[in-house]
Amino acid sequence: MKKTMRVLSVCIMALILAMPMASSAEVLRMATTTSTDNTGLLDYLAPTFKAQTGIELQWVSVGTGKALELGKNCDVDVLLVHAPSAEIKYVTEGYGVDRTQVMFNDFVFIGPKTDPAGIKGMSASEALKTIGMKKGLFASRADKSGTHVAESGLWKTAGLAVPDKEQWYIQTGQGMLNTINIAAERNAYTFTDRGTFIKYEANWKGNPPLVILVEGDKLLRNQYSVILVNPKRCSNVKNELANKFRVWMALPSTQKEIAAFTLMGKQLFIPNAHEK
Amino acid sequence: MDYLISGFIGAFKLLLSGDAETYSAVITTIAISSLSIVLSLIAGIPFGFLLGYFNFAGKRQVRAVVDTLLALPTVVVGLLVYAFISRRGPLGELGLLFTILGVALAQTILITPIVVSLTATAVESLDKRLGMTLATLGARGGQLAIATILEARYAVLIAAVTAYGRAISEVGISMMIGGNIKWHTRTITTAIALETGKGEFSMGIALGIILLSLALIANSLLIGLKRRN
């Protein structure tokens, strides 16, 4: 028994040591999407934010759908998400306030180099119509993430229903990079944000099996915004800190820093807080 | 295949270079799993004893429920606990979401059935004459329970090892309740999920090897315990 007690006390010691150091910094909790986290943007911005405001930014990175849900349940103070249509509805319904656009990047259609359906260089709508007509394999996130919301919107803009039950429409329900990998394995097309694609390209040392086929269409803009969780619904949220973050993200100096963030030498996000 | 080799090398590099992020995840993992194993043993051993020792009406049904709970999916436990500790939930005021304590409590729910079930089996499989002998020697109530469990200690140890293995390796609860917040609630398993999501497969393998090493150390401690007893 003595030995057991000793092991137990070692465990408990480890536990006490492991308790996060009580830091004097104020903590702001944010729910954001996988793209801002996986690309390393937040790791890059958070130290500057702390140095300039003294606020420690903690974030959970989930799909935009779940991020909005965490805000609805008052579990986070602020959101950084990218699904404008869902966001506007969210604010109208009173869950969020002070939506501020801060930056964008763009979506692209990628697919096998052989381009079996022949969509290279088309507009977004033409590309989807062609894929639908030729029943080209297409991998979709299907997880209510910002990317998935954007993709669903594009089917509608093209005048088509989301091909939910079609054999050629592969609904992965997984993150962007996993979905790209699935598309590559199945020789399928998919729809991704450029940042994740650059990361994917880098993983393949610049020679990936899937390449960009459709880009530059206005419809492909991927807008990121900061939304504060409504303090009237959620009395516990740190609205003041959240607002400081919102203002800070739109500052010219921060916007410059966002523009300077690169991955594999390529700029990932284009700041646009000044745009109306 | 490259992943595996570079993963192995990566694991050593991370450990030897004292990589702060890795160590933070290791410490968080140890903290959470130690807390949950202690809580589940405190809750599970007495219940397992009662279930294994006494015969009562409905015993088989209770046993069936406990054994069914062995199949609890981690994500479901995560969702259930989230519903309670979210700010809008009944226990929201406690602020347990995205904390080490919150994850440990949810893991306790996951692994207590393992402790209960295996302890009950251990107690059941003891020689039936043990209880009578102990009673003849004058053991009563608590004394009798402690003596019985001591007699079954190796099997209870196995219960603890099994439960610990489940706690240390699960990812659904840690992700849902902990939120994978860097420096705070990022465990080895959520870090593996993150690295895999980023396409850094060899980093994922490296962290996996570190997790297994941790489990090996924990098991060696327990085996040492068994020897010396």
A-chain residues near B86 (CB < 8 A): 73-75
Q: Are the beta carbons of A177 and B198 separated by less than 8 Å?
A: yes
Position A144 scores a pLDDT of: 85
Q: Is B140 on the interface with A (CB under 8 A)?
A: no
Taking domain A107-220, whether its CATH number is 1.20.120.420 is answered by no
Tell me the three state secondary structure of residue A187: coil
Domain that residue B116 falls in: 2-228
| Portion of chain B with pLDDT greater than 70, in percent | 99
- What's the mean pLDDT in B94-116? 96
Burial class (CB in 10 A: 0-12, 13-18, 19+), A21: exposed
Share of chain B above pLDDT 90, in %: 63
Tell me the pLDDT tens digit for each residue of A90-145: 999 999 999 999 999 999 999 999 999 999 999 999 999 999 999 999 999 998 88
From the list A8, A59, A178, which residue is nearest B38 (CB)? A8
The closest CB to that of B30, out of A14, A175, A177, belongs to A14
Question: Can you say whether the dihedral through the CA atoms of A195, A200, A206, A212 is positive or negative?
Answer: negative
Taking the CA of residue B7 and the nearest CA in chain A, the distance in Å comes to 15
Residue B198 near chain A (CB below 8 Å):
yes
C-beta atoms of A20 and B222 within 8 A: no
**pLDDT band, residue A22 (cuts 50/70/90):** very low
Chain B residues in contact with A7 by the CB 8 A cut-off are 221-222, 225
Asked, colleague to colleague, whether A27-105+222-271 and A107-220 share their fold, the answer is: yes
Residue A266's pLDDT is 87
CB contact under 8 A, B34 and A34: no
Contacts 24+ apart (CB under 8 A), A164-170: A166/A135, A167/A135, A168/A135, A168/A136, A168/A137, A168/A138, A169/A138, A169/A140, A170/A137, A170/A138, A170/A139, A170/A140
The string of pLDDT tens digits covering residues A182-239 is 999 999 999 999 988 988 888 888 789 999 999 999 899 999 999 999 999 999 999 9
Query: In A, which residues are within 8 Å of B184 by CB distance?
Result: 20, 58
For residue A126, give how far its alpha carbon lies from the nearest alpha carbon of chain B (Å): 31
Chosen for mutation from B41, B181, B185, B229 (greatest number of chain A CBs closer than 10 Å) is: B181
Residue with tokens 């893991």: B107
The tokens for A147 are 């990317």
Provide DSSP, A84-139. Answer: HHHHHHHHHTTSEEEEEEEEEEEEEEEEETT-TT--TT--HHHHHHHHHHHT--EE
**What ipTM was reported for this prediction?**
0.78
Whether residues B197 and A34 touch (CB distance < 8 A) is answered with: yes
A175 or B120: which leads in pLDDT: B120
Rounded to a whole number of angstroms, the distance from the CA of A130 to the nearest CA of chain B is 30
| Residue A21 reports pLDDT greater than 50 | no
Q: Which of B94, B117, B116, B96 is nearest to B105 (CA)?
A: B96
CATH of A27-105+222-271 among 3.40.50.970, 3.50.50.60, 3.40.50.150, 3.40.190.10: 3.40.190.10
- The answer to whether the Cβ–Cβ distance between A15 and B184 falls below 8 Å is no
Residue of A47, A96, A87 whose CA lies nearest to A65: A87
Domain boundaries, chain A: 27-105+222-271, 107-220
Search chain A and give the residue with CA nearest B201: A203
Q: Is the pLDDT of residue B143 over 80?
A: yes
Distances (CA, A) of A67 to A72, A106, B72: 9, 20, 25
How many of the other CB atoms lie within 10 Å of CB of A264?
Answer: 10
Chain A residues with CB inside 8 Å of B222's CB?
A: 7
Per-residue H/E/C for B119-180: HHHHHHCCCCHHHHHHHHCCCCHHHHHHHHHHHCHHHHHHHHHHHHHHHHHCCHHHHHHHCC
Contacts of B37 in chain A (CB under 8 A): 11
Please report residues of A whose CB lies closer than 8 A to that of B156. none
Contact A20 B184 (CB under 8 A): yes
pLDDT tier, B10 (very low <50, low <70, confident <90, very high otherwise): confident
Count how many domains chain B has: 1
Beta carbons of B197 and A178 less than 8 Å apart: yes
Chain A: closest CA distance from residue B13 (Å) = 20
Residue B38 sits in a domain whose CATH number is 1.10.3720.10
Q: Note the pTM of the prediction, 2 decimals.
A: 0.82
